[in-house]
Amino acid sequence: MTMMKKLIELSDVSICIKKRCILENFSISFSDETGVIGLVGLNGAGKTSFIKSLFGCYSITSGKILIFTDEIAYCPDVPDFPTDMTTLEVLEYSRMLSNKKRKKLEFYKNILQLVGLSKYINRETSHFSRGMKQRLGIASVLVLEPQIIFFDEPTSALDPKGREEIIEILRNLGKTKLVIFSSHILNDVEKIANRIIVIHKGKKIFDDNILNLLIHNDPKILVTLNRESSLNKLKERLVNKKCFCLQDNNTLQFSGLELYDFLSLLNKDICSGIVSIERDQISLEQSFANLIERNEYPNVSYRD
């Protein structure tokens, strides 16, 4: 089995500006793997601060950041370019600024083909839409041939079609590189990320796959009955459980039990009145909201 090589490591990093910590005791690592990682959080949670900390934009108050590769690149949320430069000139300039050797024209054409800008190789960026600038921003980091790429809100302010196109580009990049992108659009993250990192108030509060975020919430079970007597008997057995009536008083919803535990509460009289038993599928949005609420109010019950 091949051992993954650690490329980036943060250990208890805190960055405080004017007595306010934008990152607090932040620890995380990234290895030389491929795939897509979603970095999510509310606006102002610290997503951009985390990314910029890797590129020396902030002085560290405490902790340490170790980077074991120079094959790392960053694309901001609003890429901007000199308006009198053509697409090709932007890409050549990007390599020059990074002290990379010059490449043949075919190299740039292949990258522009990847991001859907091959027809605009000689067009000045002053004629570019927001979506085209986003694509050119991606191309300008790809010409650096990085192993790890950080994207800050790459789909922000794009229309649905533009968002889908950028997401597809990130998905394809994740087949050969490690892509980390920040977003507050959970639907975008759910489509392509195999790992999700949640930041809240400068702290990392979750780092795992999306499935584990979903199942981290209390399971909910919906039980529909067709007899009032069965309903009342079930209520008696669930007296210590979080339980309430729904749907014309015929359906009970409760959480805190797995299905096996629930079935152990049933007897013949209750079973005869049951029409259906279903697990309620919780959405990623609700899972995220519950996670934030648990960290915001750790001693208060959150909405199931």
pLDDT at 191: 92
257 confidence band (pLDDT: 50, 70, 90): low
Q: Residue 236: which domain range? A: 218-279
Question: Does residue 300 form part of some domain?
Answer: no
Residue with tokens 């085209």: 132
Question: Does residue 293 form part of some domain?
Answer: no
pLDDT at 167: 95
Q: Residues 77, 10, 70, 189: is their CA dihedral positive or negative? A: negative
Question: Does residue 292 form part of some domain?
Answer: no
Distances from the Cα of 269 to the Cα of 218, 227, 229, 274, angstroms? 27, 10, 9, 9
Shared domain for 113 and 153, answered yes or no, is no
Residue count (the chain): 304
pLDDT at 302: 41
pLDDT at 166: 92
Shared domain for 11 and 67, answered yes or no, is yes
Question: What is the Cα–Cα distance from 58 to 202, expressed in whole angstroms?
Answer: 14
The answer to whether residue 232 scores a pLDDT higher than 90 is no
Shared domain for 55 and 99, answered yes or no, is no
253 confidence band (pLDDT: 50, 70, 90): confident
pLDDT at 156: 81
What are the pLDDT digits (tens) for 82-132?
A: 999 999 999 999 999 999 998 999 999 999 999 999 999 999 999 999 899
What are the pLDDT digits (tens) for 46-78?
A: 999 999 999 999 999 999 999 999 999 999 988
pLDDT at 218: 64
| Number of domains into which the chain is organized | 3
For residue 294, with 0-12 CB atoms within 10 Å meaning exposed, 13-18 middle and 19 or more buried, which class applies? Answer: middle
